[in-house]
Chain A
Amino acid sequence: GDSVTQMEGPVTLSEEAFLTINCTYTATGYPSLFWYVQYPGEGLQLLLKATKADDKGSNKGFEATYRKETTSFHLEKGSVQVSDSAVYFCALSDLDDSWGKLQFGAGTQVVVTP
């Protein structure tokens, strides 16, 4: 079945540092890929998405590129802020296989210090 693997946290960074969170996936079809963010005490918010190979999703300074050849969707941000401290979830959804159902990775906690 489909699955998502993302790097374990917590990831601790200083403000203005570069952030990368690795995410790889396995899927039988051609999934859409997502990054969701969960701020402390809140629900999930969609951060960005990509629906086909080589698509780049971007939002709030975050970027991720859908790499079919490496089955990856790594999240990057060039200069993090304290307000980026949150848990980040990589997820996939395979329209062909199971419409809309999201398969989540384990989540990566990011802590940004001043």
Chain B
Amino acid sequence: SAVISQKPSRDICQRGTSLTIQCQVDSQVTMMFWYRQQPGQSLTLIATANQGSEATYESGFVIDKFPISRPNLTFSTLTVSNMSPEDSSIYLCSGGLAGINEQFFGPGTRLTVL
């Protein structure tokens, strides 16, 4: 298994600003993902974070709004840019190992945009 931590755990931000969320895994994982969970809703995949190359975004999510980095196999960041109240959500990262179809989730970052 893998233990995943996220920073910050929560934040309150002003409209128009940006926030970068960090995700750290305690062991090397093949795949890392970023999800959004809007209030009272299920999880929606934002993108797959690829090491050393651009992330792969799902329909409805774009790099300009959610730039993602993954400089190595254990670390990734998600930035929520030019925030609006509609971006208020929990953002979760997850990691998975090749050959083991299982993902481990971080505790999430609870973002409130005023």
Total B residues in contact with A, Cβ cutoff 8 Å: 20
Q: Is the CB of A43 within 8 A of B103?
A: no
Q: How far is the CA of A83 from the CA of B30 in the complex (A)?
A: 34
B-side contacts of A78, CB under 8 Å: none
Q: How far is the CA of A42 from the CA of B37 in the complex (A)?
A: 12
Within 8 A of A (CB), among B65-114: 92, 94, 96, 101-108
CB distance from A92 to the nearest CB of B (A): 10
Within 8 A of A (CB), among B31-73: 31, 33, 41-45, 48
Within 8 A of B (CB), among A1-31: none
- With A43-B92, A43-B105 known as contacts, the answer to whether A100 contacts B31 (CB < 8 A) is yes
Which of A44, A51, A93 contacts B43, CB < 8 Å? A44
A-side contacts of B94, CB under 8 Å: 44, 102
Which of B30, B45, B107 contacts A101, CB < 8 Å? B45
Q: How far is the CA of A105 from the CA of B103 in the complex (A)?
A: 16
Q: Is the CB of A100 within 8 A of B101?
A: yes
B-side contacts of A93, CB under 8 Å: 101, 103
Q: How far is the CA of A104 from the CA of B46 in the complex (A)?
A: 13
Interface residues of B (CB under 8 A from A): 30-31, 33, 41-45, 48, 92, 94, 96, 101-108
Please give 16 more A-B residue pairs, beta carbons under 8 A apart, in addition to A32-B101, A43-B106, A102-B103: A32-B102, A43-B105, A44-B94, A45-B105, A46-B104, A46-B105, A89-B43, A95-B101, A100-B31, A100-B33, A100-B48, A100-B96, A101-B33, A102-B45, A104-B43, A107-B41
